[in-house]
Structure 1
Amino acid sequence: MKGQIQITLSPLWHKNRKLVAIHFAYDDKVKDYVKLCDGVRYSKTYRTFYTVYHHMVINELFDYFRAKKWYVDYSAFNETYTKPKTEQSYRANYKLPPLSENGLKELKGFSKWLQQKRFSQNTVHTYAEVTGLFLRYLDLKQIDTISPRSIEQFNYDFIFSTKKSVSYQNQCISGIKQYIAFKELTIGDFDIKRPNKDKKLPTVLSKTEVKSILDATSNLKHRALLSLVYSAGLRIGEAVNLRPNDIDTERGLIHIRSAKGRKDRYTLLAPRMVPLLETYINHYQPSNFLFEGRLGEAYTQVSARQALKKVLGLAGIKKYVTLHTLRHSFATHLLEGGTDIRYIQELLGHNSPKTTMIYTHVSSTNLSDIKNPFDNL
């Protein structure tokens, strides 16, 4: 479709290293934006941009290109993938055909419809992505009509058989249901139960580990951002969308606007954060967003993740740590310090206290109060 920019991510092997190839129809502005992405290089051998594969890189690239509202096709990484016999054979991993021009128009209309229903931008992109995969699956199977049978077949072939995650399956079900409503289709009930998510406990850093991360962060912007994420218990999306006037130094509060669920809330501004933020603001002089990229746009989540990844090595942290780990650590440290869990729920913006109760399972204070019978033998 004219004007539609599509980025395709695919596996590429070179000298026993797994890479991510980044394909797109030639366009100067797209090429310039791709080159700005940290870690991206150009291969003359394969005549494509690429970056080194790691377990978070697809999410990082997806967020980076999604910030421009470009369509990102990462389906080659949704398939069970093993190293090809030759480095050139990575293209054989494409199992789903690309969307037709009509399919792209449908998907664009679906995205606008979701936006008008006031879904968050993240949800709009996610539902459009999974629905695009479903439409491509229908093309592959030459199915003209959406029916309970075709949805169940897609669920089995593309999700269950390929061992996709529970979260991914739920996203697909939700996206397809919204697409059916968008098309005003009347179909029978389809027998796909939403599986329960795995109840995994969050990774939590000690206060010493958090301090070592912040002390190892020499870049002023990165230090201010990571410190704010931890000290206020922010989601990274909330942090990068803050405006300078959301910081209320007199009241010691931060105003979080239109957070998850389109809710506003206030959270804590630590007194020790004030001089750090003032130094940062005086140096960078942000105008629109508190944390801005090179072109005055909101600092990308990809850049924030890369900043954290770099400093983890410098701090000698061996745990698997994400930006959300800082939020988990903030909540756990509050609980261990005696803060009522109802206040923690408000600070984090949780709808249900059940969500916040997970931190009682990782609090060392609660566990340390238990007398181990081994000590009385």
Structure 2
Amino acid sequence: MKPTSRERHITLKHILIDSQRMIGIKFYPDKVLDALIKTLDHPRWSEQYGLILIKNTPKNLQDIFEKFKGVAWINVQHFFTNRPVFAGNSLLSVDEYRKRPIKAGFRQCPEAFYQKLEIRKYSLNTARVYIGMFERFINHYRTVENLLELGEQEIINYLQSLVLEGKSDSYINQSINAIKFYYEVVLEMPNRFYRVERPFKKESLPKVISKESVLRMIALCPNIKHRCIIALLYSSGLRRAELLNLKISDIDSERMTIRVSQGKGKKDRVSLLSKRLLEDLRQYYRIWKPVTYLFEGPDGGQYSATSVVKIIARAAKRAKISQRVTPHMLRHSFATHLLEAGTDLRYIQALLGHSSTRTTEVYTHIAVNGLSRIQNPLDLD
């Protein structure tokens, strides 16, 4: 039986050979497809990539769509950039990087790199990381003038040098993201690097503390503002940045909920408001009288992220907790204690703002409600 147009398909990929952009065409052998391939502009087989290659020009790309239309389905998911712009972020300008003084011999990011960060409205923190990581990479190959001459092998060699320097997996992953951003987003050649491997992701379990420890931290905190910060992080499962972004209007005492606006991934969600905490929040409001943000610094702007870390550390010390406690540990503890109390995993997922239950399922590995029913073999008669 002959394959139909639905069964026939080709996949387009970006390939760079000797600084020349090529279109890679992948397909299963078929007489009809073979015949059409031969009508393209100087097709040639690449043993290295296992693909048919033709020059990447607008005309050649148009020829592919015209000649294979109705004959085969064309898979372009590896070829076109279709990631959405980060609409939730405020306007980004990286002028401070453009206009900074540059030392002699130092290689700066290309202007197109800055422009793409601004156009796609990446967060300022991400922009800083990408610029720093990419500039380190291009200065490693300072003598190579044309960045298109840097291929997969050069990238792999550079990543290997980072490993030998003892850089963390996180650092290496950020470097890969910055390099891929330039070649795949700025130059619009998505998924071009097929052999660049990331470090294996370490599956570490979240660190939590007991509910009793959290209650001691709150009870022994003499400052009402600090007490509210600790209680909110724990009782609502907030990330530190989400806490700092809270506005007075986000507290809904009638529905006993907290609105989290533009959390991680630019998603809104609703979390729980504790009745016990509400009384403290009202007392705090009467004393501190915040204007815009729920927690404000001396200048009236957002409260300092560093201050939150210090508040948690001091509270843990007062509560005589031996391990180092961070704001995110209170979020992990919130999820774990809800799970141990029998709360459905899907509700916990929604409260935390996780896109998938797979992320939330990690808490099932540290919840001890099931373990408490297992008798230790040392205690068996």
For this structure pair, what is the TM-score category when the shorter chain's length is used for normalisation? 0.5 to 0.7
CA contact 2:130–2:174 (8 Å) conserved in 1: yes
Quote the offset at 1:245 in angstroms. 0.4
The corresponding residue for 1:309 is 313
After superposition, the Cα gap between the structure-2 partners of 1:186 and 1:364, relative to the gap in structure 1 and judged at 3 Å, is closer
After superposition, the Cα gap between the structure-2 partners of 1:229 and 1:258, relative to the gap in structure 1 and judged at 3 Å, is same
Would you say 1:113 and 2:79 are equivalent positions? no
* Residue of 277, 290, 294 corresponding to 1:286: 290
The corresponding residue for 1:145 is 146
The corresponding residue for 1:17 is none
The corresponding residue for 1:128 is 131
After superposition, the Cα gap between the structure-2 partners of 1:101 and 1:225, relative to the gap in structure 1 and judged at 3 Å, is farther
State how far apart, in whole Å, the 1-side matches of 2:95 and 2:231 are: 31
CA contact 1:99–1:135 (8 Å) conserved in 2: no
CA contact 2:106–2:139 (8 Å) conserved in 1: no
Would you say 1:164 and 2:159 are equivalent positions? no
Quote the offset at 1:357 in angstroms. 0.8
Quote the offset at 1:165 in angstroms. 2.1
CA contact 1:111–1:125 (8 Å) conserved in 2: no
After superposition, the Cα gap between the structure-2 partners of 1:339 and 1:307, relative to the gap in structure 1 and judged at 3 Å, is same
State how far apart, in whole Å, the 2-side matches of 1:112 and 1:239 are: 31
State how far apart, in whole Å, the 1-side matches of 2:96 and 2:322 are: 35
* Residue of 355, 358, 363 corresponding to 2:362: 358
CA contact 1:217–1:311 (8 Å) conserved in 2: yes
Quote the offset at 1:180 in angstroms. 2.2
Q: What SS is found at the alignment partner of 2:113?
A: helix
The corresponding residue for 2:276 is 272
Quote the offset at 1:136 in angstroms. 3.5
Quote the offset at 1:367 in angstroms. 1.3
State how far apart, in whole Å, the 2-side matches of 1:308 and 1:104 are: 39
The corresponding residue for 2:38 is none
Quote the offset at 1:375 in angstroms. 3.0
* Residue of 243, 248, 251 corresponding to 2:252: 248
State how far apart, in whole Å, the 1-side matches of 2:105 and 2:254 are: 54
Counterpart mapping for 1:189-228 below 5 A? 189=193, 191-228=195-232
* Residue of 307, 320, 326 corresponding to 1:322: 326
State how far apart, in whole Å, the 2-side matches of 1:247 and 1:106 are: 45
Amino acid corresponding to residue 123 of structure 1 in structure 2:
T
Q: How many residues align?
A: 281
Amino acid corresponding to residue 272 of structure 1 in structure 2:
R
Quote the offset at 1:179 in angstroms. 2.0
State how far apart, in whole Å, the 2-side matches of 1:354 and 1:154 are: 33
**TM-score after normalising by structure 1:** 0.68
* Residue of 172, 180, 183 corresponding to 1:180: 183
Amino acid corresponding to residue 344 of structure 1 in structure 2:
I
CA contact 2:109–2:134 (8 Å) conserved in 1: no
Quote the offset at 1:173 in angstroms. 0.8
Q: What SS is found at the alignment partner of 1:224?
A: helix
Quote the offset at 1:208 in angstroms. 1.1
Quote the offset at 1:112 in angstroms. 5.2
* Residue of 241, 258, 261 corresponding to 2:265: 261
Quote the offset at 1:144 in angstroms. 2.6
After superposition, the Cα gap between the structure-2 partners of 1:216 and 1:130, relative to the gap in structure 1 and judged at 3 Å, is farther
Matched-pair identity in % = 37
Q: Cα deviations across residues 130-180 of structure 1 (Å, max 9, x unaligned)?
A: 2233233333xx33333123322221112x112222222222111211122
Amino acid corresponding to residue 146 of structure 2 in structure 1:
T
Q: Cα deviations across residues 276-302 of structure 1 (Å, max 9, x unaligned)?
A: 111112222111211111222211211
Q: What SS is found at the alignment partner of 1:130?
A: helix
C-alpha RMSD of matched pairs (Å): 2.7
The corresponding residue for 1:80 is none
CA contact 2:242–2:263 (8 Å) conserved in 1: yes
After superposition, the Cα gap between the structure-2 partners of 1:137 and 1:299, relative to the gap in structure 1 and judged at 3 Å, is farther
Counterpart mapping for 1:21-170 below 5 A? 103-104=107-108, 106=110, 110-111=113-114, 113-139=116-142, 142-146=143-147, 147-148=150-151, 149-158=153-162, 160-170=163-173
Quote the offset at 1:256 in angstroms. 0.6
The corresponding residue for 1:369 is 373
Q: What SS is found at the alignment partner of 1:364?
A: coil
After superposition, the Cα gap between the structure-2 partners of 1:281 and 1:99, relative to the gap in structure 1 and judged at 3 Å, is farther
State how far apart, in whole Å, the 2-side matches of 1:100 and 1:277 are: 55
Quote the offset at 1:110 in angstroms. 3.4
Quote the offset at 1:219 in angstroms. 2.1
Structure index of larger Rg: 2
CA contact 1:167–1:197 (8 Å) conserved in 2: no
CA contact 1:209–1:317 (8 Å) conserved in 2: yes
After superposition, the Cα gap between the structure-2 partners of 1:199 and 1:143, relative to the gap in structure 1 and judged at 3 Å, is same
The corresponding residue for 1:62 is none
